[in-house]
Structure formats: structure tokens, C-alpha cells
């Protein structure tokens, strides 16, 4: 804001501050009065607040003059609206948490910025298409650059009972290119806040521990740490636009948190597991004809060999294919001069690879991104995958099945300990491919999410008793 001499605000700026800077709407009478009083106490004597249901506005009718440069909001959690209100949104839902996000997305100007509080269901729920579709639009048309995970109980006063919901802070911008196209999200920076300067109980007793200052410092440079990490847009799309803040460093962390925070996080994860299991049960319901199509592997596996000329001075990644469907793994980093078998082949991410000798024991898998460009000998045939026929995720599921491993065992030829499965024998094997491949992929994603949450819960349970003892030793229990 333009300032006059000294610290005096010019009359035009004062009028703009009072009438054209801060705006708001509130449905309920008491919060509306509290909001007006709060603004008056902060020097805004004529608050531009309206008492009406924000969600009653049709988001498809907003024009640029209806939008705002900066939006800061903490919408209500767990509310529902009548169907007459849900019709105002591109992705109708009775849940106010997801419709509020749609409203905010429609209300921000070009070049505008948003900071908002959400409950965790907005990030990962897939039981309603409105959640997935809204997150997809947010990712594609906005730059969602930051998600901050808050401990359950920070908003304890927002509900009548319990510790309060698990909440997150979203920060995104509506950027537009010179040609008028939206600038979508490239990657998201996450930070996991565990302590906020007060206890997560109704008393909210002040505490010295506070992660927020560290969060602010790291957010400016998007630093990586045991509490912060980044997720690429490719990973988000692969998880069906699941934006869950699962800290990859969580298990390695040995820092004690308060037992209240640990218990609240465990309870929060259990709620998420129940939500995911509900979706799994829905997906398991039979719909129409569920019979699959029998295909020979030759229909979708394309042999690919890229012979490599070994450079003695270069370092290479050598891989191995683990038994029992445990995938492709790094064996060692090795200098070219130390490689005895000079005929080597380069492998690429997304390719299918198997061991001729140990295919009968499940030694096969998909090459992960981190092993792109690694090398193997001729005993590890590689194949490109025709994704128009079969999705790679389906291949991983089918090839780990005992039925397929048994088919590989039967097709292998040779003496007992040196039986090999040659390429033509592998490609002749037939497997049953489900018609709805996306359903199987989604079930696989959900099952992995449950496993990850259970793993995190088990790790947190291990820290619960030490945290209780730590609190007892301090005389706080």
C-alpha cells in the first residue's frame, strides 16, 4: 500500500482499506457477529461481511470481477448441504469440505494466491468421484506448491467432542501463461508439523516445542529434511490424484512426540484405513460380466535388447531380479574395468525383465525409474510392454501369482538345478487379463495404501510407550 509522509495513511488508501480490501461471508449468526467484531477491533470500522451461505453461489457463473487476489480460509469440516446447494458445483457432493475447495478454486483471480485449511479426507478420499475430479482440476489448472500436515487436535475447538480432525494447510496459485493456458502443478513440497507451541488438549497449555518456525524457514527454499519432502506430479497421477502426506522419512525418525499427538495420529490413520477398506469393498462388488480375456504373453511383451559397449572408466549399475516376485533391485555399483562379462545390455524404466534360471521361482519384475539405464547380462531378457493391451500394474499382479510362477516352472527346460525359461517358452504362456484393468490397478493402489498406513501405525505404536515414559519422567503425566 502506498504510504504518505511518515506513517500517515493517505485518505484514498484509508478508504480502500476500510471498504475495498477485506471481504467475507458467513452462514451462521454468531460467527458472523464475531467476525464483524474482530475486524472492528483491528481497525476496519465498516466490515464488508455478508451473512449468507457461501455455497449458495453457483461457481460456474463467477466472472473475473467476482474473484479475489488473495484468499485465506478455514472452512467448516464434516458438514453436509442439501442437493439444491450441491447443484452449484461442477462436481456435486453433499460434503462441504470438497465443495468449499471447488468454491475457492473458482473465486481466485488470475495470478491470485490461496491459503486454506482442509480436513484430511479432501486429500485422499476416492469413495466419491467429486473428490478425485476436484483434486485433478486443482493439479491441472493451479500450482499446488505446498501442503503442510498439522497434528490432529490443532482445531480441537472446531468440534464439540474429541481431539478434533486431522487437518492440512494447502497453498496454491492460479497462474496463467501469456497464451491464456493454466500453469499446472509440477511437484508439491510437503512438511509434517508435529508440535505447534501448545498441547493438543482442551487446555491448550503452552509448550516450548514448536515446528512452525522451522516450517516457515524451510518453505521459503523448499528444503528437504526428515520432516519435509517433495512429490512429483507423475507420482500423484499414478496414485489417482491421492495427495496424502505420507512422510517417507517417518519410520527413520527417532524424535519423541507427545503421547497425545501419537495417539491422535494413530486414530487418524485408522479412520483412513476404514475409509480405504470401504472403497475396497465397493470395488469388490461384481458388476456385469467379469470374465477376462486369455492372452499369450507374446501379444503384449515385445523383446528388446540394447547391447552396450562397456567403458572401463565409467561406473555402472548392475541389477539382480529377486525371487518370489520381489522385483528388480540394485546389485552393485561397479566400474567398467571390473566387469568380467563384457557383453552387457542396457535396461530402461517400465520394461519387463526376468531371470532365465530363476523365473520358475518368481524372479521377474518391472524396471523401476531409479534403475533406468542399469545393465544386465544375456541371462536377463527384457521386454517393452504394449500398454494398449495390458497395463504394467496388471502384469506385476499377475506375474506374482502362484499360478503364473507354476506355469513358468512347467515351461522351464533343462536339468534340475539349471532349468531355464527361454523367451519363446515364456511368450507362449497364456494368462487371463481382466476386462476392467483399472479396477485391479485401483485395488492394488488401495491395498498398498493400507499396508503403508499399517506400517506407519506400527512404527508409531513403538514410540508411544517411550513418549509416555518421557512425559512421566518430566512429571507431566
Residue 421's pLDDT is 93
**pLDDT tier, 9 (very low <50, low <70, confident <90, very high otherwise):** low
Q: Which of 205, 206, 210, 253 is nearest to 229 (CA)?
A: 253
Buried b (16+ CB within 10 A) or exposed e, 108-120: bbeebbbbbbbbb
Q: Which of 345, 359, 374, 351 is nearest to 301 (CA)?
A: 351
Return all residues near 72 (Cβ < 8 A) that are at least 6 apart: 114, 115, 116
Domains along the sequence of the chain with CATH:
1-52 (no CATH), 53-283 (3.40.50.150), 293-433 (3.90.220.20)
User: How confident is the model at residue 163, as a pLDDT?
Assistant: 55
pLDDT tops 70 at residue 403? yes
DSSP 8-state symbol, 324: T
Distance (Å, whole) CA 437 – CA 440: 5
Query: Hey, is 142 helix, strand or coil?
Result: coil
- Position 160 scores a pLDDT of 43
Q: How many residues does the chain have?
A: 477
Sign of CA dihedral 271, 138, 226, 213: negative
Nearest to 460 by CA among 250, 246, 200: 250
b/e per residue, 188-209, with b = 16+ CB within 10 A? bbbbbbbbbeebbeeeeeeeee
392 pLDDT tier (thresholds 50, 70, 90): confident
Closest CA to 432 of 290, 236, 292: 292
**pLDDT one-digit tens code per residue, 285-327:** 775 566 678 899 999 999 999 999 889 989 999 998 988 888 8
Q: Is the pLDDT of residue 428 over 80?
A: yes
Of 126, 72, 133, give the one whose Cα is nearest residue 99.
Answer: 133
pLDDT of residue 386: 92
Cα gap 436→445, rounded to integer Å: 15
Least confident of 223-232, 260-269, 418-427: 260-269
H/E stretch holding 308: strand 307-308
* CA–CA gap between residue 66 and residue 47 (Å, rounded): 18
Residues near 288 by beta carbon (within 8 Å), at least 6 away in sequence: none
Provide CB contacts within 8 A for 291, sequence distance 6+.
435
Q: Is the pTM of this model over 0.85?
A: no
Amino acid at each position: 500500500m502506498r504510504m504518505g509522509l511518515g506513517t500517515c495513511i493517505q485518505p484514498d488508501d484509508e478508504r480502500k482499506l476500510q471498504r475495498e480490501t477485506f471481504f467475507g461471508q458467513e452462514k451462521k449468526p454468531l460467527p458472523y457477529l464475531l467476525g464483524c467484531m474482530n475486524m472492528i477491533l483491528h481497525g476496519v470500522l465498516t466490515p464488508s461481511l455478508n451473512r449468507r451461505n457461501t455455497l449458495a453461489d453457483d461457481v460456474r457463473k463467477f466472472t473475473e470481477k467476482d474473484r479475489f487476489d488473495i484468499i485465506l480460509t478455514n472452512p467448516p469440516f464434516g458438514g453436509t448441504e442439501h442437493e439444491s446447494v450441491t447443484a452449484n458445483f461442477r462436481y456435486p457432493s453433499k460434503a462441504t469440505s470438497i465443495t468449499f475447495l471447488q468454491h475457492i478454486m473458482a473465486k481466485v483471480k488470475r495470478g491470485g494466491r490461496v491459503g486454506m485449511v482442509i480436513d484430511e479426507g479432501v486429500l485422499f478420499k476416492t469413495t466419491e468421484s467429486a473428490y478425485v475430479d476436484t483434486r485433478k482440476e486443482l493439479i491441472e489448472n493451479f500450482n499446488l506448491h505446498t501442503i503442510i500436515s498439522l497434528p490432529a487436535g490443532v482445531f480441537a475447538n472446531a468440534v464439540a467432542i474429541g481431539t478434533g480432525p486431522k487437518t492440512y494447510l494447502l497453498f496454491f496459485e492460479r497462474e496463467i501463461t501469456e497464451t491464456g493456458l493454466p500453469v499446472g502443478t509440477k511437484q508439491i513440497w510437503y512438511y509434517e508439523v508435529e508440535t505447534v507451541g501448545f498441547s493438543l488438549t482442551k487446555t491448550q497449555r503452552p509448550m516450548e516445542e514448536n515446528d512452525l518456525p522451522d516450517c516457515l524457514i524451510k518453505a521459503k527454499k523448499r528444503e528437504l529434511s526428515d520432516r519435509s519432502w517433495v512429490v512429483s506430479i507423475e507420482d500423484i497421477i499414478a496414485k489417482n490424484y491421492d495427495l496424502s502426506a505420507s512422510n517417507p522419512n517417518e519410520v527413520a525418525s527417532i524424535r519423541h512426540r507427545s503421547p497425545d499427538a501419537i495417539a491422535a495420529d494413530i486414530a487418524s490413520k485408522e479412520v483412513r484405513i476404514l475409509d480405504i477398506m470401504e472403497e475396497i469393498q465397493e470395488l469388490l462388488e461384481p458388476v456385469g460380466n467379469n470374465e477376462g480375456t486369455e492372452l499369450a504373453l507374446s501379444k503384449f511383451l515385445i523383446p528388446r535388447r540394447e547391447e552396450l559397449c562397456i567403458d572401463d572408466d565409467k561406473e555402472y549399475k548392475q541389477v539382480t531380479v529377486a525371487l518370489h516376485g520381489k522385483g528388480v533391485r540394485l546389485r552393485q555399483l561397479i566400474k567398467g574395468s571390473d566387469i568380467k562379462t563384457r557383453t552387457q545390455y542396457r535396461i530402461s524404466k517400465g520394461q519387463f525383465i526376468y531371470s532365465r534360471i530363476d523365473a520358475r521361482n518368481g524372479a521377474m519384475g518391472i524396471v523401476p525409474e531409479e534403475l533406468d539405464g542399469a545393465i544386465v547380462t544375456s541371462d536377463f531378457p527384457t521386454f517393452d510392454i504394449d500398454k494398449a493391451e495390458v497395463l504394467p500394474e496388471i502384469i506385476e499382479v499377475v506375474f506374482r501369482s502362484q499360478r503364473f510362477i507354476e506355469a513358468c516352472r512347467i515351461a522351464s527346460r533343462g536339468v534340475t538345478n539349471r532349468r531355464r525359461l527361454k523367451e519363446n517358452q515364456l511368450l507362449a504362456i497364456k494368462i487371463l487379463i481382466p476386462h476392467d484393468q483399472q479396477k485391479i490397478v485401483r485395488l492394488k493402489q488401495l491395498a498398498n495404501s493400507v499396508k503403508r498406513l499399517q506400517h506407519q501405525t506400527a512404527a508409531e505404536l513403538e514410540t508411544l510407550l517411550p513418549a509416555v515414559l518421557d512425559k512421566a519422567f518430566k512429571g507431566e503425566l
